[in-house]
Amino acid sequence: MTQRVAINGASGRMGRELIVAAQARDDLELVAAFASSTNEQLGIDAGRLAGVADTGVFLTSSESIAKAAFDVLVDFSLPAPSMSALAACRAQGAAMVIGTTGFSAAQQAEIDAAAADIAIVQAPNYSAGVNLTLDLVERAAAALGDDVDIEIVEAHHRHKVDAPSGTALKLGEVAARGRGQTLDQNAVYAREGHTGERPAGAIGFATVRGGDIVGEHTVLFAGAGERIEITHRATSRQTFAGGAMRAAVWASVQTPGHYGMNDVLGLSD
């Protein structure tokens, strides 16, 4: 069965990759592509925008999402337009795949509430490899416990606007959970000057921004006399886009609920 998919944030780097990924699937039909009302590319065919064959679907203002008909919407935009898209999905009972990060606590609460009415897949990263990495990191943190110090190093292209990345934060969350802790209580996001000794149980973050780095994440477990490093490197955004479209197909046939990529991949306990 072919599902109708819409893309919000379609003119961005990931949005264009999502167009390509949608066109590559036989079980999805691209029916709408949205961008900001001030975007200079409004009116351009989505396929031409993404560098593939014309689709007959033209980039339109995200203000028109509520008037569009689709089975599932994939959102890689910004928190504010993502929340508007959420309201439109909820109003028409369409599923939603959220790749946007950086939501406030209030916005996240709204997403959680909407999951009572529609199927929502929310993940900071839609790569199958990254989600397997999350599983490995949690297992390693549980096994190694307080005998090691945990540091997370992430690198992305110069245009990325948030830091640490959503994926890095998720890696921190699962590492903390593996040790029976919470990230909020143990995260160290910056070091400068005379910082003193490393706090026991701390999970440190380091951020690199430069060039066209697609995405690299390393979780370092540093113990006395040995180190373990778990690393994922992405070399193409199609890794993420393909996973997001896989999630879109899966979400379109699910009952209401708040799901993660581990559910899509069948990794949930």
Cα first-last separation, the chain: 28
156 is catalytic: yes
CA 169 from centre of chain:
11
Residue 95 DSSP one-character state = E
Q: Report the distance separating Cα 99 and Cα 241, nearest Å.
A: 10
Q: Is residue 120 exposed (0-12), middle (13-18) or buried (19+ Cβ within 10 Å)?
A: buried
Query: Structure tokens of 223?
Result: 């113990």
Instruction: Please indicate whether residue 170 is annotated as part of the active site.
Output: no
Write b or e for each residue in 53-63: b if 16 or more Cβ atoms lie within 10 A of its Cβ, otherwise e.
eebebbbbebe
Q: Which of 67, 159, 160, 232 is catalytic?
A: 160
Which secondary structure element, helix H or strand E, spans residue 180, and what is its range? none
Catalytic site residue from 156, 170, 217, 232: 156
Extract the runs of DSSP E, i.e. beta strands, from the chain.
3-8, 28-35, 59-61, 72-75, 95-98, 119-122, 149-156, 187-188, 203-209, 215-222, 227-234, 257-259
Distance CA(143)–CA(138), nearest Å, equals 9
Catalytic residues: 156, 160
